Amino acid sequence: MKKKVFSVMATVAFATFIATGNAEAATEQYTVKTGDSLWKIASLHKLTVDELKKMNNLTSDTIKVSQNLLVKKPSDIKQYDKQNDASMTEINKNLTTAKQTSSTSFFKPVVEKDKPFLTNLSKTAKEIQVASVEVAMPLLDTPYVWAGVTPEGFDCSGFIYYVFTNAGLKMPRLDTVSMFINSHPVDEPVPGDLVFFENTYRSGISHAGIYVGDGKFIHAGTKKVEISTIDSAYWKDKFVGFTRFTQLQSVK
């Protein structure tokens, strides 16, 4: 099955990326290589892009081959990470400015060892996934708005956040990479699973949507919320795989 092969390949590639980087992650400096990006280097060393930029006094996302970057967290950043593990109430309060902020750099990525966002769900995983499609479909043609999280306008991660929180899954506002990290690959997707793509407007994981069945997904495209086909000329070469939020795998 083509979709299954894509999903397995994506999982293997992601695991290889982490494994090969363990030795470098223990050092204080990292030398930029061809093909590197701030996102790739930050993920390798369990940093956010913002943390990496602050540690190296970077004012843009541009890096050069052979450039040396500090990648070891100082104690004050570790303390910042602990503060980010506050309660859901505090997290949601702190995210009220999300609409004015880039959806790809503001939010702290969630690594796999972090605790799930939600321990008890009022709905079953199946009910939430069915509800997610029901919430998503009426939002077709909603305009694209960078960092948008309301029916007035969405970006791709803001659309998924809005849909799932209204479908019954309480979660903080995450960027696309963090959603990918906080989900697990599925070989046989069902409506309500996530679909991820890479190398769209930037390198690495950069776009996501919600699977609606028959090889199609609903997402906040470049102009509006729309339904696209995974095997279309544009998307098929950028397809990474299907995943399901980790919280949904913990319940029936």
Active-site positions?
156, 207, 219
Token pair of 125 as six digits:
């995983």
117 residue type, one letter:
F
User: Strands (DSSP E) along the chain, which ranges?
Assistant: 29-31, 68-70, 149-150, 153-154, 183-185, 194-198, 205-213, 216-220, 225-229, 239-245
Question: Could you tell me if 228 and 235 are in contact, meaning their C-beta atoms sit under 8 angstroms apart?
Answer: yes
Residues across the chain = 252
Element (H, E) at 118: none
How far apart are the C-alpha atoms of 14 and 56, rounded to whole Å? 26
DSSP string, 91-102: HHHHTTTGGGS-
- What HEC string does 215-226 produce? CEEEEECCCEEE
194-198 and 153-154 as β-strands: parallel, antiparallel, unpaired? unpaired
How far apart are the C-alpha atoms of 53 and 42, rounded to whole Å? 9
